[in-house]
Amino acid sequence: IKLWVGENHRNKLGRVSLSAFVINGAGFDNVASAIASAGASLKLKKIDVDISLEEFVCFFKRFAVSLSDPRFQLEGRSFSTD
């Protein structure tokens, strides 16, 4: 899923939308093998939905997001905190 949030205008969110990329007929338990077997010919269907940020977060039991600047090259690295 790709979540997109528009500009903030006077503490009001602009447009919020999501794009879901789905694979036809695989079923949840078979998605990983369907993607692997498709190789370079992977075809997904894109579904765009306008939704509030609150509605999106409510799809999940728990929701956490981590953001970092790609120039820092933190993805996949281990680190510790105090």
Going by C-alpha positions, the residue among 46, 23, 21 that lies closest to residue 36 is 23
Q: Cα separation of 26 and 43, whole Å? A: 12
The band of 77, judged by pLDDT with boundaries at 50, 70 and 90, is confident
Going by C-alpha positions, the residue among 24, 29, 61, 70 that lies closest to residue 43 is 24
> What are the tens digits of pLDDT across the range 10-62?
888 777 889 998 887 667 888 888 888 888 888 889 999 988 888 888 888 99
Cα dihedral 15, 54, 1, 78 sign: positive
pLDDT on residue 62: 93
pLDDT on residue 9: 78
pTM for the full model?
0.58
